[in-house]
Amino acid sequence: MALRSLVILLCVFAAAQPKILKQSSYAKEELEQYIANTRPELNLRYRLHYHVAPPVGWMNDPNGFSYYKGEYHLFYQFYPYDSVWGPMHWGHSSSPDLVNWKTLPTALLPDQEQCFSGSAIVDGDTMILMYTGHEITDKEPYYNETQFLAFSDDGVAFTKYAGNPVLPAAPNGSPDFRDPKVWKHGKHWYVVLGSKTDDNRGRVLLYRSFDLIEWEFLRVLGESTGDLGYMWECPDFFELGGKHVLLWSPQGMEPNGDRYKNLHQTGFIIGNFNYNNFEFVQETKFQELDYGHDFYASQTMEKDGKRYVVAWFNMWEVPHPEEVDGWAGAMTIIRELVLVGDRVLQKPLDKMISLRDESVINGQVDENQVIELGHTGEIIISGDLEKKIELLVEGRNGGGQALLRWDPEVGKVVVDRAGDVRQVEWSPIGSHSWRLFLDASSLELFCGEGEVVFSSRVYPDGEWNLTNLSPQTLNVEAYKLKRSVPL
């Protein structure tokens, strides 16, 4: 069935079911009214200024990261009625430039299925969402996951396909079968999905289709041999710098020295992919994409030859201090991905410079000197890498804090959040400076050209102070940043 015929069929079905559409429309209107009434009740002490966050309630994985009719779109897992995880909706934000964002109406509401993670594609004037329908069952493990479609001709109002699910089962029947990431190559649509083997080893499955309805299973694109976790979530597969990158979030990896210290990880392998035999030949070992405390379930999109990435700026099974304030969860800032050798670098967007407001300092900062920032800041730091660098970021009135360190004796960058340490070796390939982004409850540290990045939530009381604890004078350029997302 051609895609255009599918859309026509969907419209005919909608016209024949006015009662269903009316109920759905009422539910959406009721939800948006609830959000509008609840937003003024939020406590804004930790509310982020330039990171996408839910208007109310809970947020986790980014979904549907895409470009449609002149704007970027970012959807996300959303439970509006409480600031803890609940029956999943799809929240929705859009942006002209990936920096300034507005909140749009909730895109998907659960029916018999919860609307778990997925992706968005564009075909002509139609935006199509492919997402996992998570349904509760009465048999162990008491849930099942299949793949659904929804359509829109304006990127705001979506109608679910009457023939859902379009992918009803994993090849081995595993109930864990989720997070479709779709793209087009030639005449075919392709999708990767996260799943697991019968003996609990994570894997990624590859399918293709002519019409998004009938899908052909091609092969297992990647699979754990036992050391890469029991479930692979949120897979993404794309070309970068002449290679192919498999990016995903494995669950159940054991900590190994400095590595894999979060509950679950997000990382990648680099290799070559052949569209003739669908074989992905791995060339590197698994590498973490971000080394901070709070980075999970990333998703990428491509526009004008550039590959962008965003991730959930939280982690499972850790405290979320903003939860008592009526909201929880955020997205990282958008980063550009660049392949250099066997490294995938993350770089802040050039457009981030447009958020610079008041200049705080541009010059030397002596040992023990304190820089007073606002609730936000962008700080560029450079010093002698043959000597130690140590910075304390903390709330002016106390609360959360973090120590950022460079130790030349071991060649590691360290982010120490109240004794919860993340650290990794750093070998600069160009710039030797750090670029630190602070928001009302977060820090993102980019080292050099983005070879090493840490994303961590930190919850200060009041505005930020930054203290140079290094045994050397540092060169520092610092700015307060403007708001670019709604309260």
From first to last of its 487 residues, the chain has per-residue pLDDT tens of 445 445 444 443 443 333 333 347 889 999 999 999 999 999 999 999 999 999 999 999 999 999 999 999 999 999 999 999 999 999 999 999 999 999 999 999 999 999 999 999 999 999 999 999 999 999 999 999 999 999 999 999 999 999 999 999 999 999 999 999 999 999 999 999 999 999 999 999 999 999 999 999 999 999 999 999 999 999 999 999 999 999 999 999 999 999 999 999 999 999 999 999 999 999 999 999 999 999 999 999 999 999 999 999 999 999 999 999 999 999 999 999 999 999 999 999 999 999 999 999 999 999 999 999 999 999 999 999 999 999 999 999 999 999 999 999 999 999 999 999 999 999 999 999 999 999 999 999 999 999 999 999 999 999 999 999 999 999 999 999 999 999 8
Global pTM reads: 0.95
* Active-site amino acid positions: 61
- For residue 77, what are the β-bridge partners? 90
pLDDT in tens, 173-197: 999 999 999 999 999 999 999 999 9
How far is Cα 23 from Cα 15, in angstroms, rounded to an integer? 14
pLDDT in tens, 5-28: 454 444 434 433 333 333 478 899
Query: What length does the chain have?
Result: 487
Domains and CATH numbers, the chain: 3-348 (2.115.10.20), 356-479 (2.60.120.560)
The CA-to-CA distance between both ends of the chain, in Å, stands at: 44
Positive or negative: CA dihedral 244, 249, 252, 257: positive
How far is Cα 238 from Cα 269, in angstroms, rounded to an integer? 11
